[in-house]
Structure 1
């Protein structure tokens, strides 16, 4: 997982948590056939593209998409290549010549891209070529006018498109810091510096796609002991980064969702201690928002044991 456990802090607070990206740090992750994120994204774009690919009325994403293509090619030329005719994703075996789908990769990928409306095929190709989901942030209005999000974490992209940062984060528990910083954050991430942040939770849901209309919330087992509960739990993480487009006062927001069995991901005592401290200091509102209240005490017991007494 790309998750950095240094981002787990206590006392836990819902806050921006931005940190500057080091020069040369990559922001994208190439996808390959057979990988879990690609398979789930392909299913969403095949069956629910209208829930994932969204633009505010009148917004033109062409310049931002071309900037994303240039960034992707510079970081991972093995995953995305541009030429005079169009763009291709060699690892997928598919590309676009203009808006015509070309290639000889897995047939289901070609069918999916061909079924998308022509103006959305480049966004679809980028979504499949990389593990990240994407959004465009407008720094002048602090709104999100464009989304290509296949793997949301219990939120609906249809409800966020065109909204102000404050409206987007309104449902978040203990959101005072996020709301107060909304306009400042929009200006900050659309400047010249590249930023990243990490988000995490513990969940009984294995799927990456958690759109509320497609994935009903899975309940924690009531009768499992601490060990049994932990064995059925997953650490779900997001690495979020911002590719700034300062000339247009915009940024491309990237979201890399990963999920792994808690007992396999948390192997070091200091990792368990960090999660224990954070979980122990979550407010009741945050526990309810993240559906952690029924599992909190058992997770704390398991994390304390995994930390070897380091958790207090």
Structure 2
């Protein structure tokens, strides 16, 4: 099985299932970004979906509170990207270049194509993006991750560039306190109560990561609630007690979330700090993701232990019984399952 880049299955999938911060320090040198476009290797589905979303629904994905200056955080993100993936992304003074797409932004945020190699649609796309958002848009296409800024001074998320949300609307989260953002999440009492400490932690000098997973009936990376079908699995799929037909039309959706400190804003003596919040989404067919019996068993135990509130929040209530039946047989080594 090919894991989501950076997604640690053994750390992320625990039983009994509990909603908790689950933060882990990143070891030095651990990558936080995944190139979505590389020379000679083409582009990922992340880039294709992001381009479609940002072209048609930029206002839903690119959100900021009025007057917020995102440039220090964007500069920190661009420098981090260049150091981590120099073949994919280069920074030369004020010039930022995505090598895989063959396009740069100059000091005036004007798109500049590499001679004879730039993707022809990228120039028109960038030009129709509002100038203050062009650097965020190019970074978004260059990497699989979405980005937000966590600000310790306000305790909020004042800026987001999120094209691939997991059934939440960026415009409804921007500017809101960290704890308030997580308040609607089922069984999230620990996260909400710890919100001030979590914000201070992730905007400090160290790098952190956490993981999220679920099972979904929809294969797209982009899951904005206005474009995400409200219905879950069809009744006919739920009626199959074996879970085979349901599992065959289910996907394993994961997120790896990590934080990049913004130099010059790190908390010192309780001063304000910022971090770039990186959200890496992946979706795989459920049968492929849980091909190994041990993994199917782990997910079976986690799903069986979810509270009714969590099941309802994730839309898994009606699907739990057939999914558990399928997972049990997959865990027992039944290769005939989907």
Please report the TM-score for the alignment, with normalisation by the length of structure 2: 0.89
* Whole-angstrom CA distance in 2 between matches of 1:215 and 1:81: 35
What is aligned with 2:32?
A: 27
The alpha-carbon deviation at position 244 of structure 1 amounts to 1.3
What displacement does 1:245 show? 2.1
The residue that corresponds to 1:232 in the other structure is 249
Q: Which residue of 1 is the match for residue 112 of structure 2?
A: 102
In 1: Cα distance, 2:122 partner to 2:290 partner: 34
Gap change, CA 1:144 and 1:85, over 3 Å in 2: closer
Return the offset for 1:85: 5.1
Tell me how many residue pairs correspond in the alignment: 310
Q: How does 1:54-93 map to 2 (within 5 A)?
A: 54-84=63-93, 86-93=95-102
For residue 8 of structure 2, what is the aligned residue in structure 1?
4
Confirm or deny that 1:268 pairs with 2:268: no
Distance in 1 of aligned mates of 2:140 and 2:66: 21
Alpha-carbon shift at residue 58 of structure 1 (Å): 1.3
Given that residues 201 and 237 in structure 1 are in contact (C-alpha distance below 8 angstroms), is that contact kept between their aligned partners in structure 2? Answer: yes
| Equivalence for 2:269 | none
- What is the distance in 2 between the residues matched to 1:142 and 1:274? 35
**SS of match in other structure, 1:48:** helix
Q: Which runs of 5+ in 1 are unaligned?
A: none
Tell me which residue corresponds to 1:292: 316
CA RMSD of aligned residues (A): 1.4
Contact 2:43 2:100 in 1 (8 A): no
Deviations 1:115-146 (A, max 9, x none): 10111100000000000000000122210011
Contact 1:140/1:187 (8 A) holds in 2: no
Q: Of the candidates 207, 212, 221, which is equivalent to residue 234 of structure 2?
A: 221
- Helix, strand or coil for the counterpart of 1:147? strand
CA contact (8 A) 2:25 2:208 kept: yes
Instruction: Select which of 180, 194, 208 maps to 1:195.
Output: 208
Which residue in the other structure is 1:151 paired with? 164
Residue 41 of structure 1 corresponds to 50
| 1:273-284 equivalences in 2 (<5 Å) | 273-284=297-308
CA shift for structure 1 position 246: 5.5
2:259 is aligned to 242
Give the superposition deviation at 1:151.
0.4
Which residue is 1:204 aligned to? Answer: 217
- Matching of residues 111-126 of structure 1 within 5 Å: 111-126=124-139
Query: Aligned partners of 1:309 and 1:129: how far apart in 2?
Result: 40
For structure 2, the 5+ residue unaligned runs are 266-272
User: Secondary structure of the residue that 1:63 maps to in structure 2?
Assistant: helix
Q: CA deviation at 1:309?
A: 7.4
TM-score scaled by structure 1?
0.96
Which of structure 1's runs of 4+ aligned residues deviate more than 4 A? none
SS class of match (1:174): coil
- Measured after TM superposition, the shift of residue 221 of structure 1 is 2.5
CA distance in 2, matches of 1:39, 1:54: 21
CA distance in 2, matches of 1:215, 1:112: 24
Query: Distance between the aligned counterparts of 1:276 and 1:309, measured in 2?
Result: 13
